[in-house]
Amino acid sequence: MDLHTVSTTALAYLGDAVLELLVREHLVQEGYSSSKSLNAHALDYVRAPMQARAMERLAPHLTEQEQAVFRRGRNIGHTGTPKHATVAEYRAATGMEALFGYLHLSGNMTRAAELFALAYGREEDRA
């Protein structure tokens, strides 16, 4: 598969699921066990404003190729945004999802896990 020809929307769609899996794994490893607690804490990771802040932390660590994929995702034409996010936050979150979708399709989940840890490794990074 030529990853340069995969639609950016498809990358973001897949990346959303990749991030969800990474979040769930992280929360289980942190010791959360009730579905109510797991779901409540997961929101600290997947809301657009949180993902936008995570991308600010990741940006200095991205390769040129990863930056290009992020920009592709960020620049998708959005017709709407969630009510609790700015347009810039929503665009950054979509770019992040595209990046993680790209990493998954390229078979580089080690890099995805590394970036996830950089983005969300500390509790204060999610506050």
- Rounded to an integer, the average pLDDT of 107-121 is 94
User: Residue 41: exposed, middle, or buried by beta-carbon count in 10 A (0-12, 13-18, 19+)?
Assistant: middle
Report pTM.
0.90
Dist. CA 84–CA 105, nearest whole Å: 30
Does 64 score more than 50 pLDDT?
yes
Contacts of 41 (CB under 8 A, 6+ apart): 27, 30, 32
Contact 41, 25 (CB under 8 A): no
Which one from 2, 16, 44, 125 is the annotated catalytic residue?
Answer: 16
* Span of 8-22, 47-61, 113-127 with lowest mean pLDDT: 113-127
Each residue's pLDDT tens digit, 8-51: 999 999 999 999 999 999 999 999 888 888 988 898 898 999 99
pLDDT of amino acid 90:
92
| Fold held by 8-125 | Ribonuclease iii, N-terminal Endonuclease Domain; Chain A (1.10.1520)
Does 57 score more than 90 pLDDT?
yes
Dist. CA 100–CA 10, nearest whole Å: 11
- The residue ranges of every structural domain in the chain are 8-125
Dist. CA 103–CA 38, nearest whole Å: 25
Does 4 score more than 80 pLDDT?
no
Q: Based on the residue annotation, tell me whether 125 is a catalytic residue of this protein.
A: no
Percentage of residues in the chain having pLDDT higher than 90: 69
